[in-house]
Amino acid sequence: MVNCKKCGRELSKNANYCSYCGISIKEVKTEEYNVSSDDLVKTVKKLIHEGNVRRIIIKDEKGKNLLDMPVTIGVVGAIIAPWLAALGIIGALATNCKIVVEKKK
């Protein structure tokens, strides 16, 4: 078993995130992209096709989380379609967005 570095709770050894506090257990690299609402869906699709993305977080101009999307290996169109529909709605409401991407190191 593995313990969370932040809250100390016991987790399974295969855990990627702490189920109690949400902190990443495995080493990840974080990248941020500032995009306009017109390029939001296109940029997220491109990031998903890169293959090493674990999680995508969409934030508005003020830094508020709008969408937190886990990305797993083998994501196919039927599974990703609802997320992309949500991105379309977010793009209609926000003018500029920040995309925070967690990738495998």
60-87 pLDDT tens trace = 888 888 888 777 655 555 456 666 667 7
From 37, 67, 40, 66, select the one nearest 55 (Cα to Cα): 67
Q: What is the pTM of this model?
A: 0.64
| Low-confidence residues of the chain: pLDDT under 50 | 78
Give the torsion sign (CA, 78, 103, 61, 69). positive
Q: What is the pLDDT of residue 32?
A: 92
Q: What is the pLDDT of residue 2?
A: 76
Domains present along the chain, CATH in parentheses: 27-104 (3.30.1490)
Environment class of 81 (CB within 10 Å of its CB; exposed 0-12, middle 13-18, buried 19+): exposed
